[in-house]
Amino acid sequence: MNFHVLTLFPDMIMQGLSTSIIGRAIDKGLISINTVNIRDFSEDKHKRVDDYPYGGGAGMVIKAEPVYKAYEYLVKQIKQSRTEGMAECKPRLIYATPQGRVFNQSMAEEFARLDDLIILCGHYEGIDERVLELIVTDNVSIGDYILTGGELPAMVMIDAIARLIPGVLNNDISSEYESLRDNLLEYPQYTRPEIFMGMRVPEVLLSGHHANIEAWRREQSIIRTYERRPDLLKKAQLSETENEFLKKHIYQSQSATE
């Protein structure tokens, strides 16, 4: 999969994603990250890309023209790299903005099915609305807080999407079965030693009994989601037995505190 980032700070993106798992995925050719510097498309002799907002107000606004030119350049690059039919196709373009739909795992899964994904990073008070109307297909936020720019959100999204590409994680199973896939958080994990500061690893994990371990992990996921993210648990699909188990757990923990 090819990620393309329209940004004023290409180094930030490349430095942020060149190490560890994502860096290795790039080296292995499983993904590519291509940055286009919006400033390179400024016609201003000082390479300025922002200007005062019409109507007044604080801050500066990124001009439509350099963004559109950078976009056109990028789309041409993408089309040239494709062997077949993209002539009429408008590429998916995420605008990283706190005004967007809040990014989640199922959005990551959807984007991971694309061959090319463009992310546009804003700064200052925003980008001229007219170019956004022309090129943006998805407005996406990474959470209800305001950052100084779209580069960190772009990196967050690229990381979450890239790790779903087959081969990026050493162990494909780990991305398939892990937390959030079915709206449950992951069960607790332990490694050696068996006793740490007087605390023992749960007995079942040492038993070697795979079915019991699986069952225990599922129960732990359910309890954990109930305790930490009850909003997610409402969306999880629990079997009748699991619902009964949860009721019993809630009853027991309530009577323990009374």
CA dist list (Å): 214 to 207, 217, 221, 248: 12, 5, 11, 19
Rounded to the nearest whole angstrom, what is the least distance from the CB of residue 150 to ligand ADE in the complex? 5
Select 7 or 225, whichever has its Cβ closest to ligand ADE: 7
Told to check if 150 binds ligand ADE by CB under 6 A, we report yes
Told to check if 97 binds ligand ADE by CB under 6 A, we report yes
Rounded to the nearest whole angstrom, what is the least distance from the CB of residue 98 to ligand ADE in the complex? 4
Told to check if 16 binds ligand ADE by CB under 6 A, we report no
Cβ-contact 174, 139 below 8 angstroms? no
Among 153, 155, 183, 184, binds ligand ADE (CB under 6 A): 153
Rounded to the nearest whole angstrom, what is the least distance from the CB of residue 104 to ligand ADE in the complex? 13
Select 143 or 188, whichever has its Cβ closest to ligand ADE: 143
> Cα torsion at 95, 99, 104, 107 (round to 10°)?
-40
Cβ-contact 90, 134 below 8 angstroms? no
CA distance 138 to 110: 12
Among 21, 147, 232, 246, binds ligand ADE (CB under 6 A): 147
Told to check if 35 binds ligand ADE by CB under 6 A, we report no
Cβ-contact 13, 78 below 8 angstroms? no
Collapsing DSSP to helix, strand or coil, 109 comes out as helix
Select 13 or 184, whichever has its Cβ closest to ligand ADE: 13
Told to check if 49 binds ligand ADE by CB under 6 A, we report no
Identify which of 15, 12, 4 has the alpha carbon closest to the alpha carbon of residue 123. 12
Cβ-contact 141, 102 below 8 angstroms? yes
Told to check if 107 binds ligand ADE by CB under 6 A, we report no
Query: How many residues lie near ligand ADE (CB under 6 A)?
Result: 11
Which residue ranges make up the site for ligand ADE (CB under 6 A)? Answer: 96-98, 141-143, 145-147, 150, 153
